[in-house]
Amino acid sequence: MKLKNLVSQRFKERPADCVIDSHALMVRGGYMKYVGSGIFSEFPTLRRVTQKIERIIREEMDAIDGQEVLFPVVMPAELWEESGRYDSIASELVRFNDRNKSRMVLGMTHEEAAVQLVREYGQSYQQYPFMIYQIQRKFRDEARPRAGMIRVREFTMKDAYSFHTSQEDLEEYYQRCYDAYNNVFRRAGVPEVVTVASDSGMMGGSISHEYMLLNEIGEDSIVLCTECDYRANMEAAENIVNNVSTGILNELECVETPDCKTIEDVCAYLKSDIAASCKAVVYQKNADDKFVIAFIRGDYEINETKLRNLVGEDIHPGVITEDDPIVAGYIGPVGISDKVEVYYDMSLKGAENLVCGANKEGYHYTGLNIEREMGEVKYFDLAKVNEGGICPHCGKPALTIKRGIEVGNIFQLGTKYTESMGMTYTDKDGVAHNPIMGCYGIGVGRLAASVCEAKHDAYGPIWPISIAPWEVHLCCIRPDDENAKEIADNIYSELKKHGVEVIYDDRAGVRAGEMFADADLLGVPIRLVVSPRNLKENKIEVSTRDKSLKDMVDVNDIINYVVELKNKMFAELA
Amino acid sequence: MKLKNLVSQRFKERPADCVIDSHALMVRGGYMKYVGSGIFSEFPTLRRVTQKIERIIREEMDAIDGQEVLFPVVMPAELWEESGRYDSIASELVRFNDRNKSRMVLGMTHEEAAVQLVREYGQSYQQYPFMIYQIQRKFRDEARPRAGMIRVREFTMKDAYSFHTSQEDLEEYYQRCYDAYNNVFRRAGVPEVVTVASDSGMMGGSISHEYMLLNEIGEDSIVLCTECDYRANMEAAENIVNNVSTGILNELECVETPDCKTIEDVCAYLKSDIAASCKAVVYQKNADDKFVIAFIRGDYEINETKLRNLVGEDIHPGVITEDDPIVAGYIGPVGISDKVEVYYDMSLKGAENLVCGANKEGYHYTGLNIEREMGEVKYFDLAKVNEGGICPHCGKPALTIKRGIEVGNIFQLGTKYTESMGMTYTDKDGVAHNPIMGCYGIGVGRLAASVCEAKHDAYGPIWPISIAPWEVHLCCIRPDDENAKEIADNIYSELKKHGVEVIYDDRAGVRAGEMFADADLLGVPIRLVVSPRNLKENKIEVSTRDKSLKDMVDVNDIINYVVELKNKMFAELA
């Protein structure tokens, strides 16, 4: 295709509202257009990228015996009531009434639709295992869309659902899918994507993994061990704290702590170590606003996901008023109202002589020893891991925390959906069971943007050849020069004949600098420059977008050279 | 793929709720699953069909310089307010509020999104012409979904939008797209699709065509001339009536017509020809319920679309109460209340001595001569064409009416959207203009179902090879016979190596009859049967789903034979 016919604009200036580079470059390069909050249109350049990603995903899903289907975007509420998610998911799930006042939802994921599709098909054990997938638009009403195509409300997603008659069979298939996902990311040019153990959240199930592209703009915190291969999402990372006993237990003492509203204030005022404090973190249940208090060592933070999973329902940070049975800033275990739910983090286990609130305005206790004061208590893992924390695998204090963009996820769902939706199969002996499910997702647009974020320079994206909008960017520097134009035209048609995808810039009256800036923004891996000057020596300039190669190639050899270079680039991702 | 692994069920019985054959066969054959009213999931078999249709469409759109983009399903209401359609479209347009109470719509078509995407790109005349298209899900809240995938609420559609700087340029491109559409339908196996002139309805614009598959289950009425090539949708077909004057005008006379509420009753009671009557058809405006009366010769019916276009706003059949200024069953032109809007159809022009209502309960006039009684009146073309009507092209009374399924449409939109949405380009002389648009749609699922409706027998679909889920259906009649199984396995893998798509039925313990019934439901064009009996003579049975071919082929020749047959079948659609 000729660049002058490409429907897209390119801009020199970084748009003011773009926080991350990939977003800025994809706007500047004419890839995407803002339609509404978290909603974008794709220009032809991006659509070429997303189609290539979709093709790679299809091939890998077909290779693990996936069968492509299509579920609807709009579904009746009744389907989501069968699984219970119509009520359990908050406002991310769009609900509306159709013209007949029937309640409908917009699909943000399709477990219900998958079970509905195969509920009759899967009635005999002989049909198992099987996997179905789709590539389809989804809408999730995110509270805070951000970062261009990284966190949007409407997106294209490949979602797959597998069905099994045993946990072993699920695990075997899960491993195949795990590998297929690695293939997808390698072939898409980001082999550095890592898997981390994750929390399953609202999907149900137990074991799950996220595929993370480590990148500082990511909104997930990843815990990695620098001494072994342990990796986990912060939400799922186990926090290990070993409190060492001194053997000396102080008396519990109530002390005045005027104007000390935070644990930091109190410890500063009392000149005690913040690690020797018991901090109260206050939440409320979404359903009835009942208070949930999590006690934790002062130098740790609560991991809301862990706490939510423990409580078993949605919670939000609490707001305490004068009428409530707890005193903001002065909450402690001793004498706390029995109208609130109380949980203790593992970091407090064995911790001695702590500072804590006295449940009385202006007062704290010192010398808190939880089991002495409270009797036997149960401790739960509720804390976020700290930098330098203890690795749950190798036991070394070698944990580090990085940011990552989640580009895919896989879940062992278990029977959550098949049970709630009454899907059963009959085994060899005629006994009915609920099939065990796995589900597997990749966001297409997010992967495109993530690759751009991971592979770019100041001038534009550096697309891997497998998902680049074109394979070769051909510039004819002086199309008014007849010889140059003829040779460039010829290269263009010859490359196309050889199955090479070419974007051809033969715009008249455009300076070389502008042509190159546009080429940088399109990020095509192989660049050819035809210019009257080089043609004096019968040469074409070849370079790669990643600057690893710059060569002068004889006009007669150029087609073979490019075809070989292209094949080599693909081979590197194979 | 092996049939035993295919996620789908096949049923012997016709489902009770399926009115048309394609729907029944696509349910029986495991192609689709009902999710909600007008909402379906696609099983793998159908997804293979729709993907092939999508591929054909993509190729034809790319061949006319279309550039694929992607618009969102969910759009902010503001975008649709720019064009005015947020208010002008009734409840087919789904409207909802997002979590921030922003008003959103579900895309049922994407003119607004197309203009929004290219509004900045198209600022100079040098960018023109260009065409963008997408293949995307849409939701239209149809009042009466019906006929399986023929009229649904959610559907996959290819919609294309072209932009031009002159009407001539649009018309030239329109012709290219017209031809490309014919290519799509020919390649999809339904070359018999015809184009008809159509009404543009809510799309705006003037010239438009529909692509119709003539079929009795169609919900469109098509007017065709048996003497020339005139074709039009009933909604757009011009109705020509030539009333011949007798020269004798009777007196206007008020006569008692007790209990004659319909024009048929009156004419029967007065023993006059129904063609010599002036019938009143009553509508009300949707906006304010104001009455709109259309007078028409008694033997014609009102074409609501024509009337709606004339009135310029939405109307519905009127309901008359005792308080209204008109008398149900007795409405006529003479003395009608000036509180209603009155229109006269062309069929009344020159009609003499008519019977009509007297605007008085129980009375009609005879001897109505409209222009004598009412002075000069304006006549409009408001009637549906009758069988045997006069062709507006050749003038012969040779019109016939058939049913058709609309499988595509193309519109010359004009500047409706570019004007309302403020899209302009600057011409050579620096003068600003609104670009002229065309738009072009094909429903993917509807085309699949329409082909099935046009090509099936009592046992299943007869898919054209270009969109068939597989190209070859291989049955191994006795997989327990080692020789048969080995030869069938070998044919399966050899055909795959030769790029042939094969569905392989090697199920043990399944009778031949059941295998063939399943094959009929999958509708694959080429069938191979491997059986111990035929193998005694070293033969494989080859047949085609359309029963045009049945042959015994030597085992050694079978691969070449099938590859050639496949190529021949494709060539017939090329």
Rounded to 10°, the helix A482-497/A558-573 angle is 40
| Separation between Cα atoms, residue B212 and residue B404, nearest integer Å | 5
| Between residues A361 and B435, the one the model is more confident about | B435
Chain A residue at shortest CA distance from B47: A69
Q: Cβ atoms within 10 A of the Cβ of B371, count?
A: 11
pTM over 0.90: no
- Closest C-alpha among A324, A322, A323, A336 to residue A365: A336
Contacts of residue A141 in chain B, CB cutoff 8 Å?
98-99
pLDDT at residue B33 above 80? Answer: yes
If pLDDT is split at 50, 70 and 90, which confidence band does B263 have?
confident
Which pLDDT value is given to residue A218?
86
What is the overall mean pLDDT for chain A? 93
Residue A362 touches partner B, C-beta closer than 8 Å: no
| Between residues A474 and B329, the one the model is more confident about | A474
Q: Specify which residues B196 forms β-bridges with.
A: B210
A37-96 residues touching B, CB cutoff 8 A: 37, 39-44, 46-48, 50-51, 65, 67-76, 79, 91-92, 94-96
Chain A residue at shortest CA distance from B139: A74
| Separation between Cα atoms, residue A294 and residue A298, nearest integer Å | 12
Strands A253-256 and A291-297, how do they pair?
unpaired
Distance of CA B450 to the CA centre of its chain: 10
- Closest C-alpha among B150, B136, B142, B145 to residue B26: B150
pLDDT at residue A199 above 80? Answer: no
Closest partner residue to A69 (CB to CB) among B47, B75, B139 is B47
Using DSSP's 3-state secondary structure scheme, residue A6 falls into coil
Residue A507 touches partner B, C-beta closer than 8 Å: no
Residue A248 touches partner B, C-beta closer than 8 Å: no
Could you tell me the two tokens for A29?
Answer: 């390069």
Contacts of residue B119 in chain A, CB cutoff 8 Å?
none
| Separation between Cα atoms, residue A456 and residue B529, nearest integer Å | 56
A94/B94 touch (CB, cutoff 8 Å), yes or no: no
If pLDDT is split at 50, 70 and 90, which confidence band does A202 have?
very low
| Separation between Cα atoms, residue B516 and residue A538, nearest integer Å | 65
Residue B154 touches partner A, C-beta closer than 8 Å: yes
If pLDDT is split at 50, 70 and 90, which confidence band does A274 have?
very high
When mean pLDDT is compared across A12-16, B38-42, B286-290, B552-556, the lowest value belongs to A12-16
Residue A5 touches partner B, C-beta closer than 8 Å: yes
CB B324 within 8 A of CB B251: no
H or E stretch at A171: helix A167-187
User: Which tens digits make up the pLDDT trace of A367-406?
Assistant: 999 989 999 999 999 999 999 999 988 999 999 999 999 9
Averaged over A313-326, what is the pLDDT? Answer: 90
Closest partner residue to A7 (CB to CB) among B106, B118, B154 is B118
Contacts of residue A40 in chain B, CB cutoff 8 Å?
72
Averaged over B148-175, what is the pLDDT? Answer: 95
- Which pairs count as long-range contacts for A180-185, CB under 8 Å and 24+ apart, including other chains? A180/A60, A180/A61, A180/A63, A180/A64, A181/A60, A181/A211, A181/A408, A181/A410, A181/A440, A181/A442, A183/A60, A183/A63, A184/A56, A184/A57, A184/A60, A184/A408, A184/A442, A185/A211, A185/A407, A185/A408, A185/A447
Which pLDDT value is given to residue B246?
83
How many Cα atoms within 13 Å fall on the side-chain side of residue B264? 3
Residue A156 touches partner B, C-beta closer than 8 Å: yes
B96/A96 touch (CB, cutoff 8 Å), yes or no: yes
| Separation between Cα atoms, residue B357 and residue B3, nearest integer Å | 68
Averaged over B118-135, what is the pLDDT? Answer: 96
Quote the DSSP letter at residue B361: T
Closest partner residue to B94 (CB to CB) among A5, A98, A137 is A98
pLDDT at residue A482 above 60? Answer: yes
If pLDDT is split at 50, 70 and 90, which confidence band does B204 have?
very low
DSSP string, A531-545: -HHHHTTTEEEEEET
If pLDDT is split at 50, 70 and 90, which confidence band does A328 have?
confident
How many Cα atoms within 13 Å fall on the side-chain side of residue B98? 24
| Separation between Cα atoms, residue B77 and residue B93, nearest integer Å | 11
What is the distance in angstroms between the Cα of B533 and the nearest Cα belonging to chain A? 29
User: Which tens digits make up the pLDDT trace of B264-308?
Assistant: 888 988 898 999 999 999 999 998 999 999 999 999 999 999 999
List, in order, residues 6 or more apart from A408 with CB less than 8 Å away. A181, A184, A185, A193, A210, A211, A440, A441, A442, A443, A447
Instruction: Fill in the amino acid letter for A490.
Output: N
Using DSSP's 3-state secondary structure scheme, residue A396 falls into coil
Distance of CA B454 to the CA centre of its chain: 14
Q: Please name each of the domains of chain A with its CATH number.
A: 17-68+107-219+401-453 (3.30.930.10), 253-380 (3.90.960.10), 470-573 (3.40.50.800)
H-state helical runs in B254-365: 263-270, 304-311
Which pLDDT value is given to residue A200?
52
Question: Hey, of B98, B152, B421, which one would you mutate to test binding to chain A, going by the most A CBs within 10 A of its CB?
Answer: B98
**In chain B, pLDDT over 70 holds for what percent of residues?**
99
If pLDDT is split at 50, 70 and 90, which confidence band does A103 have?
very high
Give the position of tokens 């699949």.
Answer: B448
Alpha carbon distances (Å) from A90 to A284, B99, B112: 16, 10, 31
Could you tell me the two tokens for B330?
Answer: 């007795």
Q: Cβ atoms within 10 A of the Cβ of A444, count?
A: 23
Closest partner residue to B74 (CB to CB) among A39, A113, A130 is A39
Give the position of tokens 């095509």.
Answer: A524
Using DSSP's 3-state secondary structure scheme, residue A178 falls into helix
Residue B250 touches partner A, C-beta closer than 8 Å: no
When mean pLDDT is compared across A136-140, A305-309, A441-445, A545-549, the lowest value belongs to A305-309
List, in order, residues 6 or more apart from A189 with CB less than 8 Å away. A451, A455, A463, A464, A465, A466, A467, A573
Residue B384 touches partner A, C-beta closer than 8 Å: no
Q: Is B12 exposed, middle or buried (0-12, 13-18, 19+ CB in 10 A)?
A: exposed
If pLDDT is split at 50, 70 and 90, which confidence band does A8 have?
very high
Could you tell me the two tokens for B222?
Answer: 């098509």
Measure the N-to-C terminal CA separation of chain B; round to a whole number of Å.
27
DSSP string, A308-324: HHHHTS-EEE----TTS
pLDDT at residue B216 above 90? Answer: no
Averaged over A354-376, what is the pLDDT? Answer: 92
| Separation between Cα atoms, residue A192 and residue A464, nearest integer Å | 13
pLDDT at residue A85 above 50? Answer: yes
| Separation between Cα atoms, residue A312 and residue A65, nearest integer Å | 36
Contacts of residue B118 in chain A, CB cutoff 8 Å?
7
Residue B118 touches partner A, C-beta closer than 8 Å: yes
Chain A residue at shortest CA distance from B79: A35
Quote the DSSP letter at residue B318: -
Closest partner residue to B139 (CB to CB) among A47, A65, A74 is A74
User: Which tens digits make up the pLDDT trace of A442-466?
Assistant: 999 999 999 999 999 999 999 999 9
- Closest C-alpha among B1, B168, B138, B166 to residue B74: B138
Rounded to 10°, the helix B482-497/B558-573 angle is 40
Residue A510 touches partner B, C-beta closer than 8 Å: no
User: Which tens digits make up the pLDDT trace of B420-445?
Assistant: 999 999 999 999 999 999 999 999 99
A97-116 residues touching B, CB cutoff 8 A: 98-100, 102, 104, 106, 113, 116
The dihedral over CA atoms of A256, A261, A265, A271, expressed in degrees to the nearest 10, equals 20
Residue A564 touches partner B, C-beta closer than 8 Å: no
The ipTM estimated for the assembled molecules is: 0.87
User: Which tens digits make up the pLDDT trace of B340-382?
Assistant: 999 999 999 999 999 999 999 899 999 999 989 999 999 999 9
Distance of CA A31 to the CA centre of its chain: 21
Contacts of residue A106 in chain B, CB cutoff 8 Å?
74
Alpha carbon distances (Å) from B443 to A359, B90, B109, B406: 67, 21, 11, 9
Contacts of residue A51 in chain B, CB cutoff 8 Å?
68
| Separation between Cα atoms, residue A529 and residue A296, nearest integer Å | 63
Averaged over A257-271, what is the pLDDT? Answer: 87
| Separation between Cα atoms, residue B116 and residue B126, nearest integer Å | 19
